[in-house]
Structure formats: C-alpha cells, structure tokens
Structure 1
Amino acid sequence: MTALSLLSNPASAPLWTLEGLRTADPVLGLALLMLFAVVLAEALHRATQLPRTCGQMLVGALASPLVLRLLERSELDAWKPLIDLAIAVLVFELGSRIRPRWLVDNRWLALTCILEGALAGLAVAGSLVLLGTPLQSAAIAGTVAMSTSPVIVMAVLHETRSRGQVTERLLLMTAVNSVLAMLALKLWHVVGGVPPHDLMATGANALYVVSGSLLLGAVCGLLLELLSRRVRGTSAMPVLQIALVIIASMLAVQWTLSPLLALLVAGMVARARMRHALTVEPQLGSAGAALSVVLFICLGVLLTLDHLLSLWPWVLAIIVARIVGKGIAVALLARPSGLGWQQATALTLALQPMSSLAVLLAADSFGWAAQLPAMDRAALQALLVATTLMQLTGPLWTTLALRRVARESNGTDSA
C-alpha cells in the first residue's frame, strides 16, 4: 500500500498506528524500522553499554511474529539478495583482515582452528544423540554449531576497535570454522541424496565447489588490485570494492559455488597483493553500514523461541556442549600455540556467537525446514532456538571477552 493509496482511502488505518504500520508500503516500513533501530540501539548503548547490534536485533524481534507481527518471516525472502549483500560485505572485510600465513608459521594455531570447530560439532551431536535425537539430525545440528558468526564478530570489532592476539585469532578461527561448516553442510546435502554408485560424481561436484570458489575469489582479488591502481586514496575505492563483492557473490550463486569461501579468498588475495595499499573501510563505507543495519533487523525478525519450554533440554545441550567443545580445544593447544590462560578464556567466550550463515548463504529463502529436509523437526526447532539465543546474546559474549577479559579494546567506540 502506497502513501497515495492511504490518502485516497480514508478507511485505511493511519500510518502512525500499529495497523497502519502493518499495511504500509514494504520499502517505507523497512525505512521506518531502520530509523527506529538506529535510534533505539544508540540510546540503549549510551544508557547500558549494550552493543548496538543487540539493539538492532531487538527492534527486529519486536517487529517479528514474536511480538507485534509487523513483519512475517516469509516477507523477508524478497529482501534476501540485499541481506546476502550485507553479509558479503562483512565476509569480504573479514577476509581482508586475516593472515593465512600465520597458519603456516604456527602449526599449533592451525590445529586449534580445525579442532575447535570439530570438537564443538562432535560435542553438540553427541549430546543430542544422548537425548534421543536421530543420528543424522544430530550430525546436521553439530555441523551448523561448528561455526561462529562472522557478521556478529565483525560488528563487535567495529564497535570495540580491538587489536591483539585474541582479536587476530578470533578473526582467523571464525573464517576457518565458517568455511568448514559450510563445506560440511554442502557435502552432507550431496551425499545424503546420492546413491552409492554416484559417489564419483559427488566427489567431482565437491571438488568443483571448492576449486571454483577458490578460483573465483582469487580472480576477484586480483581484479581489485589491478583496477584500484588509478583510484587508490579516492572516494571511488569503496565503490570499486562493493562492486566486486556484488559480482563475486552473484557469480558464486549463479555457478552454485560458495559465496562465503569466494569472498574470504577475494579479501585475502587482495590483502596479499596490495598489502598496506589496501584500505578497507569498516563495512565498506556508509552504504555497507546501512546494509548491516538491515541485516541485523532481519536477523531479529528471524529469531524464534517457539516450543522453548518443551525443548529446553535440547537447547541447553546444544549451547553447553558447544561452549565445552570450543573451550577444550582452545585450552588444550593454548600454551603450544603461544596463548596465555586468560587469553584462552577470552577467545573461548568470543567464539560463542552461533552462526546461521552456513545455512543462509546456501539457501534461496529463509526457510530452514526447506534447506534441511532430512532433519528431525524437534531437533531443527531446538537448533533454531539455540541459534536465536546465541545470536541475540552473541555481541555481549564477544564484547565481554575483548574488553574485560582480553583487554584488547581501545576503550572508545566508533560512532
């Protein structure tokens, strides 16, 4: 419903009423939500030091079917390309900030990156099996639980502006466990629906996804280095970066590759080629910052607490097992990899925001049930509720870890 139709139809509810908001033009409604999210998040941050991302997700939750029903989850499907772009911007920035060479120089760190994701996944799967969840469903839940949310990590780092050992390891581990979860989910999708005699084709498809994503990311990173030679230090640089991020993300989807892997590689290759000549603004500038607000509002709309009272043992098992799995892996290899116990505690806490990215970037819509059809419905709902709780509180975990435990924050927030 447009503003013109509201004027021509006196029976329509005024825009400032709840009913009017429900029937408003979708673009106008989203703009109003963004305005309210920015103002409320800033007010909460100044009053309580609550991370701004928490305030933005709270606004999304208020507009969701959980509370006011201003937005239905199915209505977000039309916005998915925009939301995917917001994710892509943050993932590219993450790739530009990590140093893969560190994994070669510190083999214990490389082992930690793999072990913390694997142990978290195994711990979650094992705890769900003990509670009676079918093995296949438990394994899928464990795979999703491996990853830490790159978008929450990057958003917290923009606010805290932290630098140090814990921050750098957090970036690296977030990238590695997200890629591992994504690849494991893709492999599970392929193997689960393929007869044994087609395993050769399955292996070829997996090789195509990995090698194709690596190649696409490398080409985009090299293109950024080549095309930026004439625009470095100008306002056109963020525009060029966003354009290449859009191209890489859309081509990855069109060619059934991994947008997550391609964008991480693009950022890493650009950093390796350009070094200090590569300047990546937080969220690639103000346009990316606006997209991030939309992203966190939508994450808030997707939050669900349905059947929490009946599923709380499974939800609690997922959260606790994940914490224990990541904590054991980090603690076991803390000393060999050059990390103190206080830093190891901070890293364990900072890794806790659970990510739905491995599912969302591989999906055409926000319907998890359609993306994980083989999963037991109760186990899927428990996973969704656990993800909701860890995403909503995730910025608190990471901020606490970096500011209070690791003490790597500069002490002042970005505006």
Structure 2
Amino acid sequence: MMLIRQTWEALQDRFFFLPPFPEQLDPLALFALLLVGGLLAGETLFRTIGLSRIVGYVLAGALAGPGVLGWLDRETLSMAKPVADAALGLLLLETGRHLDLGWLRANRSLLRSAAAESGLAFATIFAFAYLAVGLSLGWSAATAAITMASAPAVVLLTAEENHAQGQVTQRTLLLTAINCALSFVIFAVVLGIVHAEQSGDWLNALAHPLWVICGGVGIGMLCARLALMVAAGQAKGSVAQVFILVAVALLAIGVARMLAVPVFLCLFLMGAALNLADRDKVLAYTGLPQGHWILAIVLFVVTGAMLPLGDLNWITGLQALGLIIVRGLAKFAGVMATGRQDLPAAKRRLVGIGIQPLSATAIFMAAELAAIYPEVSGQALLLPLLAAALMEFAGPQMCKYALHKAGETEPLPAGRQQ
C-alpha cells in the first residue's frame, strides 16, 4: 500500500486532475460489495445445506456491521437506511395486497385466529418485559407492540422461495398480514403511551398516534387510487403497470418520509387499499416477482448490519430467548385454540410454526421509536432488537419447515438445482 500511495502521489504532480489518495473504500462501493457478498452467502447456504437464502443475507450484514467486523459504520448504515426503507416498504406493499377482506368476511374464524394469536402475544410479551426484565410500562408496551407481529417479508419470501401453495401457505400469509395490521395500530397507540411516560406531554401523546394513523391511511389510499387510475390505461400485467406500481410506491415512501409517517405503515396500507379498491382487477395480475429478491438482499443485509450483536451477552441473550419463547408459545396457542371448524389440528400446528418469524419490521419499528427518544431508547429497545436478531436466523427456517411439512412446497425437477 505504501508503494501504491507513493506512486499515486507522484502521478498527482503530473496529472493535476487526480484526487488525493483514497484512505478508505467509498461507502457506496463498500455497500455494493457487501450486497454481492450477501447474495453469494445466501445462494451458497441454500444450495449446500438447504438454509433459506434470507439467513445468508442477514449473516453477511451482521458480520460486516458495527457489532462484529465494523466494515459498515453507523454513518454508512444511516446512508443505506433509506434504501432499506424502500425495500421493506415495497415488500409490505405486497403483504398488504394479501389482506383479502372478502375472505375475512366469509371466514370469521380466520379473524378470530389472528386476534387470538396477536392478543396473546402482546399480553405475554408485555408481562415478560415488565415483570421478568423490569422495563417500564411504556417501554414494555413498546416491546410487545414491536415484537407481536410476524415478519411479513420473511413469510412472503419464504413462500416464494419454496414455490409454496396450499391451505397452510395461504393461512400463514393471511394471518401474517392481519397481525401486521393489528401491530401497526397498537404501535401507533404505544407512541402516545411512550410520550406520556417520558415527557408527560399529553398533547403529543394524543396527537402523534392520530397523525401516524391518519397519515398512513391517507397516503396509502391516495397513492393506491393514483396507481389504479394511471395503470388503467396500460395492458394488464405489462411492464408499464409494474413501473407504475413501483413509481407510485416510491412516491408514497417519499411523502411518508417528508411527513414523518412510518414508511412501513403507508406501504402496507397502500397494498391493502389496492386489494380493496381494485374491483376491475387493474393491478391484480401485476407484481414484483423477480424484484422481491433484489429487495430482499438490500433489506436483510442492512437489517443484519443494524442488529446490536455487540450488546449480546449471556444475560441479554437469555432475556431475548425468553421473549422468543413466550411469544412463540402465545402465537402457537392462539392458532391452536381457534379455527377448528375449517382447518385440521395438524395443519393448525404448522400454521402456528409458520407465523413465528420476527425480523425487519420489528427493527424498523424500533428505529422509529429510537428517533424520538434517543437518550433512553437504546437500552429500552435492546430486548426486542436482540430477539429480532436471534429470530433473523431461526425464523426463516421455521417458516420453511412448516410449509415443507405441509407438503405445499414445489419439489425441484430431477437433476436440477434452484
């Protein structure tokens, strides 16, 4: 390196346009190399030992992040976060489109299952955080709101990765979409509780949740209407419709960031509004089939790097493991206790396993809270972040196991690798 530096400096005397010798790799170049590394890690783990590709993406980000090797510092991560915001938002757009309100009206047991597993998860996580860990009432509620939902991006991508179709797959996707919607509502309410506890400002405690909910609903519905209106003049399922869907989604992301409304909430509600308002099936056959995995690499590499693995010790590790266990048992019990009329017990057990992933949505919810009270949120939000860190690796495999055990995954053709 010394020889290269001396040669470069000698050339600078002759070629005045050369910049100073770079002391480190440009953050964008480093991030691009990390994405390639994440892709290779995911493909290698998938092809050699059958792990989900998502595990490889997260592993690459976690190793390169501040908590381990430190190749990506916090400044670089803050630059990459808007890209990950967009990736999560677009994946949640697809999750929202799985929220079939017509099926919910015809199948009330599904709504009961979602309410049972989400309600039990919130109650048990809150009790664990408050009684066992010793968090305050507000931060215990925040921990429960952040971790009660399944990871929609993980469930959606795992189903696609394994070409899964069937009753268990569809029920898992729908329950994930419903409990995601419920957790967003509770998260908005918890914002007010945290405001009241931390600052005693009751005006903000009441106004902030309303701003988040009304802003999310307004942006989501307006952008859904805009996408349908513009796409109606294009051929169904065409590249033009895909472009319109992505462009309007990016518009929603930009408006949400301008108005300080959570991006994940706006895009999820935009997807739900598209499903509800698209009576003429304008965008029903338009999706992001290949784009999902490009988004997934970006999202899970960044979230892997955001994980606070440097704060993991045996105490915090046991607390995070305890949260995962009580959450998992609550969600499993909620599914098993409901839906007996339309789903056999064996399939309900697999659905209870399939909805276990906890991942990027929880991390980005925590980031929203951390931005409001940075002086206290670091320690208060450590428990849900560490739980998400552990489930980043276990969750995709649990979901994959459930779909495979249900016999709903598509086997690979003989002699061919995926």
State the TM-score, normalizing by the size of structure 2. Answer: 0.84
User: Is 1:193 aligned with 2:198?
Assistant: no
- Aligned partner of 1:312 in structure 2 is 317
Aligned residues: 396
| Paired residues of 1:98 and 1:268 also in contact (CA < 8 A) | yes
Q: CA deviation at 1:401?
A: 0.8
Is 154-163 or 68-77 further displaced after alignment?
A: 68-77
Report the 3-state secondary structure (helix = DSSP H, G, I; strand = E; otherwise coil) of the residue aligned with 1:267: helix
Report the residue type matching 2:294 in the other structure.
A
Residues 119 and 74 (structure 1), Cα distance of their counterparts in 2 relative to 1, 3 Å cut: farther
Q: CA deviation at 1:179?
A: 2.8
The 5-angstrom pairing of residues 128-147 of structure 1 reads: 128-136=129-137, 137-147=139-149
Residues 97 and 376 (structure 1), Cα distance of their counterparts in 2 relative to 1, 3 Å cut: closer
User: Is 1:334 aligned with 2:305?
Assistant: no
Report the 3-state secondary structure (helix = DSSP H, G, I; strand = E; otherwise coil) of the residue aligned with 1:275: coil
Residues 391 and 384 (structure 1), Cα distance of their counterparts in 2 relative to 1, 3 Å cut: same
Q: Kindly report the root-mean-square deviation, in angstroms, between the aligned alpha carbons of the 2 structures.
A: 3.1
User: Is 1:227 aligned with 2:233?
Assistant: no
- Aligned partner of 1:152 in structure 2 is 154
Residues 200 and 41 (structure 1), Cα distance of their counterparts in 2 relative to 1, 3 Å cut: closer
| Paired residues of 1:222 and 1:270 also in contact (CA < 8 A) | yes
| Paired residues of 2:359 and 2:389 also in contact (CA < 8 A) | no
- Aligned partner of 1:28 in structure 2 is 29
Residues 104 and 22 (structure 1), Cα distance of their counterparts in 2 relative to 1, 3 Å cut: farther
Report the residue type matching 1:279 in the other structure.
Y
- Aligned partner of 1:238 in structure 2 is 242
Report the residue type matching 1:148 in the other structure.
S
Partner Cα distance (1:153, 1:58) in 2: 18
Report the 3-state secondary structure (helix = DSSP H, G, I; strand = E; otherwise coil) of the residue aligned with 1:253: helix
Q: CA deviation at 1:35?
A: 1.7
Which runs of structure 1 show a deviation greater than 6 angstroms over 4 or more consecutive aligned residues?
4-7, 195-198
Partner Cα distance (2:58, 2:5) in 1: 31
Residues 376 and 213 (structure 1), Cα distance of their counterparts in 2 relative to 1, 3 Å cut: closer
| Paired residues of 1:124 and 1:318 also in contact (CA < 8 A) | yes
Q: CA deviation at 1:250?
A: 1.9
User: Is 1:279 aligned with 2:296?
Assistant: no
Report the residue type matching 1:174 in the other structure.
T
Partner Cα distance (1:227, 1:373) in 2: 45
Residues 45 and 355 (structure 1), Cα distance of their counterparts in 2 relative to 1, 3 Å cut: closer
Report the 3-state secondary structure (helix = DSSP H, G, I; strand = E; otherwise coil) of the residue aligned with 1:411: coil
Give a deviation string over 1:337-376, Cα, whole Å, max 9, x none. Answer: x121111111111111113425515746xx9486575558
User: Is 1:175 aligned with 2:181?
Assistant: no
Give the counterpart of 2:294 among 290, 296, 311.
Answer: 290
| Paired residues of 1:91 and 1:150 also in contact (CA < 8 A) | yes
Report the residue type matching 1:157 in the other structure.
A
Report the residue type matching 1:122 in the other structure.
A
Partner Cα distance (2:393, 2:64) in 1: 15
- Aligned partner of 2:13 in structure 1 is none
Residues 213 and 5 (structure 1), Cα distance of their counterparts in 2 relative to 1, 3 Å cut: farther
Give a deviation string over 1:312-349, Cα, whole Å, max 9, x none. Answer: 3312210110011101111110304x121111111111
| Paired residues of 1:140 and 1:375 also in contact (CA < 8 A) | no
Partner Cα distance (2:176, 2:190) in 1: 21
User: Is 1:55 aligned with 2:63?
Assistant: no
Residues 9 and 173 (structure 1), Cα distance of their counterparts in 2 relative to 1, 3 Å cut: farther
| Paired residues of 1:124 and 1:317 also in contact (CA < 8 A) | no
Residues 120 and 205 (structure 1), Cα distance of their counterparts in 2 relative to 1, 3 Å cut: same
Partner Cα distance (1:221, 1:63) in 2: 37
- Aligned partner of 2:15 in structure 1 is none
| Paired residues of 1:185 and 1:358 also in contact (CA < 8 A) | no
| Paired residues of 2:81 and 2:302 also in contact (CA < 8 A) | no
Partner Cα distance (2:90, 2:213) in 1: 21
| Paired residues of 1:94 and 1:150 also in contact (CA < 8 A) | yes
Q: CA deviation at 1:183?
A: 2.7
Partner Cα distance (1:105, 1:37) in 2: 42
Partner Cα distance (1:412, 1:5) in 2: 52
Residues 48 and 66 (structure 1), Cα distance of their counterparts in 2 relative to 1, 3 Å cut: same
Partner Cα distance (2:412, 2:373) in 1: 41
| Paired residues of 2:188 and 2:213 also in contact (CA < 8 A) | no
Q: CA deviation at 1:30?
A: 1.4
Report the residue type matching 2:385 in the other structure.
L
User: Is 1:210 aligned with 2:213?
Assistant: yes
- Aligned partner of 2:8 in structure 1 is 8
- Aligned partner of 1:343 in structure 2 is 347
Partner Cα distance (1:53, 1:219) in 2: 32
Give a deviation string over 1:25-74, Cα, whole Å, max 9, x none. Answer: 11111111122222222122111111111111111122123432211244
Partner Cα distance (1:203, 1:81) in 2: 28
Partner Cα distance (2:374, 2:286) in 1: 35
Larger Rg belongs to: 2
Partner Cα distance (2:347, 2:171) in 1: 10
Partner Cα distance (1:70, 1:319) in 2: 29
Is 68-77 or 390-399 further displaced after alignment?
A: 68-77
Report the residue type matching 1:93 in the other structure.
E
Report the residue type matching 2:128 in the other structure.
S
User: Is 1:321 aligned with 2:326?
Assistant: yes
| Paired residues of 2:195 and 2:201 also in contact (CA < 8 A) | no
| Paired residues of 2:133 and 2:319 also in contact (CA < 8 A) | no
Residues 317 and 48 (structure 1), Cα distance of their counterparts in 2 relative to 1, 3 Å cut: same
Residues 231 and 179 (structure 1), Cα distance of their counterparts in 2 relative to 1, 3 Å cut: same
Give a deviation string over 1:79-115, Cα, whole Å, max 9, x none. Answer: 1111111011101111223312222212221122122
Partner Cα distance (2:255, 2:163) in 1: 32
- Aligned partner of 1:107 in structure 2 is 108
